[in-house]
A and B are shown apart, each in its own frame.
Chain A
Amino acid sequence: EPEVTQTPSHQVTQMGQEVILRCVPISNHLYFYWYRQILGQKVEFLVSFYNNEISEKSEIFDDQFSVERPDGSNFTLKIRSTKLEDSAMYFCASSGVNSNQPQHFGDGTRLSIL
């Protein structure tokens, strides 16, 4: 069964540094998402992406965040200048063209900001 893959599995970064989290969605999917889960808290929506543009973003997704689909297969989340509170598990998800199709999640990237 096809899966969403995310790299790296764990990223440790100094505060203030830029970080790029990578995702390869399922190949025929058209909707892409990033969520995050701070330790002990619920999963929170960050951003959704469709037709090469952001379709929705949350309050968390401020100017420090950006997403890109650079080559038709990868879907990246960039945090420009990381803060301690960005430490979380970041999940990528994708879903197909049919609105009935559910979102499939990757294993996540654990981001630790020092």
Chain B
Amino acid sequence: AQRVTQPEKLLSVFKGAPVELKCNYSYSGSPELFWYVQYSRQRLQLLLRHISRESIKGFTADLNKGETSFHLKKPFAQEEDSAMYYCALRRGQGGKLIFGQGTELSVKP
């Protein structure tokens, strides 16, 4: 079965500290993986996708097929990074997104 696991419900760090939000997936095919961010119960916004291999707002994520992981990292957290972060998997053209439980990131001053 396809599944996305985000083991941490809440991650609290101080401003300037490194951040890693964990995401593991279970999928038999070649998945497409995304990170979405949701600020203060606003809309889900696309942050990153694994095929782009880009850095957005200082965040990066690398797909590790051996470990079936897609962890989100940022070397120096900012207060404005505080939000809910959802890892999601998509299978196939036009396919649905399967979301993880989400991790609330809290960056303290």
Contacts and interface: CB of A to CB of B under 8 A. Distances in A.
Interface of A: 4, 30-31, 33, 35, 41-45, 48, 50, 55-56, 58, 89, 91, 93, 95, 99-100, 102-108
A108 B97 contact: no
A107 B43 contact: yes
B94 A105 contact: no
B96 A45 contact: yes
B94 A99 contact: yes
Contacts, number: 54
A42 B100 contact: yes
B44 A33 contact: no
A102 B89 CA distance: 11
Interface stretch (B19-27, B45-53, B57-65, B67-75): B45-53
Nearest to B102: A42
B83 interface: no
Contacts of B102: 42-43
B49 A43 contact: no
20 contacts: A30-B94, A33-B97, A35-B97, A42-B99, A42-B100, A45-B96, A45-B98, A48-B95, A50-B94, A55-B94, A58-B96, A91-B44, A93-B97, A95-B94, A102-B34, A103-B97, A105-B44, A105-B45, A106-B43, A107-B43
Nearest to B45: A105
Nearest to A44: B99
Contacts of B99: 42-44
A103 B32 CA distance: 12
Contacts of B49: 102
A42 B97 CA distance: 12
Nearest to A41: B101
B93 interface: yes
Nearest to B88: A43
Given A42-B86, A43-B86, A99-B93, A104 B98 contact: no
